Amino acid sequence: MSSGNKSKKKISRRKFLVRGAFGTLGVVAVGAYLFRGNIRRGIADFANTAEPPYMGNTKTPLIWFEINNDNTVTLYSPKVEMGQGTFTGLAQMAADELEVSMQQMNVLHAPTITGNIDNSATGGSTSISSLWYPLRELAATMREMLKNAAAQKLGVQALDLQVQNGIISGEGQTMTYAEVAIGIQNWDIPDTPPLKDMESYKIIGKPVPRVDLKAKVFGDPIFGMDASMPDMLYGSVLRSTHIGATFVNADVSQAENMPGVVKVIEEADFIGVVARTFQQAENAKNAIKGNWKTEKNWQTSDIEGMIKVGEGKPIEIQKEGKAKQLLEDETIISAEYKSPIGAHAQIEPNGALAFVEDDKVTVIMSTQVVKITRDEIANRIGIEKDKVNIIPTFLGGGFGRRLHTPNGMQAAVMSKAAGKPVKCFLSRKEEFQHDTFRPPTHHLLKAKITQDGMIEAIEHNVSSGDVAFGSPMVPGFAPFVMGADLGAWRGGMINYSAIPHYRAVSWRVKLPFATSWWRSLGLLANTFAIESFIDELAVKFDKNPVQYRLDQIGNDERGRRLKKVIVAAAEKANFKEGVVDGKAMGFACSVDANTPCAQVVEVSVDGNDIKVHKVTCAMDPGIVVNPDQVRAQCEGAIIMGMSASMYEQMYVEDGQLRPVIYGPYQMALMKHAPKEIDVVLLQNADSPGAVGEPPLGPIGAAVANAVYRITGKRLRNMPIQLS
């Protein structure tokens, strides 16, 4: 099917306003200098409460859908599948408007050559929400295109036709979608028809099986590591393992003469080896005598000294009332919390397979940023962007690690030099050494309490390395405009809006090693600090920790939704204070990307071992497209949050980040998983919201709060350990 003439697509006022808000960032930059304080707080509040922007790349349906000869429909997804179930949710959204069954839906990654390119990225829990309106509109338009074409072929009026399971019928005649599509070169694209109301959907909201289940169960070659081409060579890149090392020069003479070596490429920013096997490339790379300039032998203590509230310039990101003045009183209560450096530790290392030919470039890789990767390769190779075809694969774990990696560009440069396809992947050790890490944090919370134990004023200070500012995705002027890193303070604002005076302050630190996106960004560490502190106040003033929270949340829409999930989690878990049969319950809640989430954990302690037996999670993610998929995301996020908050920790020793392999880098194992995770979904009738990241927020604080009830010890540092 090829595209023909296109009529204008409608855009709702709602989408215009959302997209327009993001498009004004450059205008904001102009006025930022004069009104930085108010603008920064305004942008922070917008980012903390706004719905995700709807995806703007919604061209003709013909680049999204293909009608196959067997009357199935292939959806070419611009969002990548990395285990979050996006393909299944998108298929459900499309199928309901296309009037086909799920058995008729296939989903593939959209190669960039098709033109269906995501202008942003896959991340931030936005895949379903950003396509909620555009994809359904495209599917509805495609359905009407097929009906109109069928009407012409059958000699009837389109209004007299009905569609069910991809079969168009009316006036005693029928045609399948496949039969309609045969021979049509130019399609008439009508205005977007009205979307169905929620009551009319038969597939959206149902727990249908995952569309990628069979491929994964049978081990099909669907990941980046599986990619291959005829006559493929292997590449390896020389990197220094020392923090802050600057390349000076290298002796490559020995490497050039080693077995299997085809080419040694010396670029300004990297040295690559191309060989006939992966091991030959690795051996030759290790034989290169690199000369690096290092300025300091960094240690963990150096990093901890940098990450400290009070060091650097404070940026106020939230302000209500007179918290700053009130908290200068000597009678305030304060506490400090810390989180360590964290790795992504995803199962599939980063890499790519690239083939540079005279007039085109083909790259097969696992990436969360398809367009950015394409543009980077085009600029580096010196070829038009539309001549670079990125073929995304399934991701063996993303978590933000694949939001920018130079592997595609490096593989392309090596392929151009060698004249053949080159596959270049990091080793497991390199993946740990050259990660873009979750930055460490230091938090200082202060509160002034009324005579009846309620909070009169509260302030959250967070010192952190960069998250968003560590990414090339973020404009260079962003630090000037924002001051505070919008990723580092995610989850760092005070949600207790009934407190008369509250304030949040960010202290930015530029670390000597790469830090950037990590699943939920700063949410886990910030929620750990805030919710631990709230719990400490509740205990100190003999308040029920659940009711204490409810009493200090406002009655605006956001507050009402947060209260509902708090009540739902507490009731479902039958929350109790105290220790019963050696077990205690801990509670915490958060709001992330406008999705409120509350969790109750049931914990026991045996010596120094903390065991989580059960987690009850209540969440309001808006419309739920696939309940099973959403529950799976909650379960995965909870386990990942447990792992990060209870076990994971990188450290710096003699200028190097360690450990460099699974095992020494402790993570939650099957034996650590709770026997039961009970997920309660509260839906509002608006649109789908964030799902993949919000459940990470409360888990660390909930565990620490439960441990206190058993041991009487406040664990204020992650990883949460008694030893």
3-state secondary structure of 221: coil
Mean pLDDT of 589-598: 97
Mean pLDDT of 692-717: 98
Dihedral through CA 653, CA 658, CA 343, CA 410, nearest 10? 100
Mean pLDDT of the chain: 92
pLDDT of residue 57: 47
pLDDT of residue 409: 98
pLDDT of residue 481: 84
Task: Tell me the domains of the chain and their CATH numbers.
Answer: 13-217 (3.30.365.10), 224-294+350-425 (3.30.365.10), 300-343+436-711 (3.30.365.10)
Q: Does pLDDT of 9 surpass 70?
A: no
Q: With contact defined as beta carbons under 8 Å apart, do 648 and 666 qualify?
A: yes
Q: Does pLDDT of 340 surpass 50?
A: yes
Stretch among 343-357, 402-416, 478-492 having the lowest mean pLDDT: 478-492
Query: What are the DSSP calls for 682-698, one per residue?
Result: ---SS-B---SSTTHHH
Mean pLDDT of 450-457: 97
Q: Does pLDDT of 22 surpass 60?
A: no
pLDDT of residue 118: 86
How are beta strands 351-356 and 422-425 bridged, if at all?
antiparallel
Phi and psi for 224 in degrees, rounded to 5?
-60, -40
Mean pLDDT of 595-617: 98
Mean pLDDT of 53-74: 83
pLDDT of residue 46: 58
Confidence of residue 259 (pLDDT cuts 50, 70, 90): very high
Q: Does pLDDT of 11 surpass 50?
A: no
The pLDDT > 70 percentage for the chain reads 92
pLDDT digits over 402-448, tens only? 998 899 999 999 999 999 999 999 999 999 999 999 999 999 999 99
Radius of gyration of the chain (CA): 27
Q: Does pLDDT of 6 surpass 80?
A: no
Token couple for 566: 């708090």
Cα–Cα distance list, 444 to 23, 110, 310, 506, 641 (Å) = 35, 46, 10, 11, 22
Using alpha carbons, select from 107, 128, 68 the residue that is nearest to residue 214. 107
HEC secondary structure over 484-530: CCCCCCCCCCCCCCCCCEEEEEEEEECCCCCECCCCCCCHHHHHHHH
Measured distance CA(237)–CA(232) in Å, rounded:
17
Mean pLDDT of 642-652: 99
pLDDT digits over 276-332, tens only? 999 999 999 999 999 999 989 999 999 999 999 999 889 999 999 999 999 998 889
Using alpha carbons, select from 233, 73, 241 the residue that is nearest to residue 163. 73
pLDDT digits over 511-552, tens only? 999 999 999 999 999 999 999 999 999 999 999 999 999 999
pLDDT of residue 55: 55
Q: Does pLDDT of 352 surpass 60?
A: yes
Confidence of residue 684 (pLDDT cuts 50, 70, 90): confident
Q: With contact defined as beta carbons under 8 Å apart, do 598 and 698 qualify?
A: yes
pLDDT of residue 552: 98
Phi and psi for 575 in degrees, rounded to 5?
-55, 135
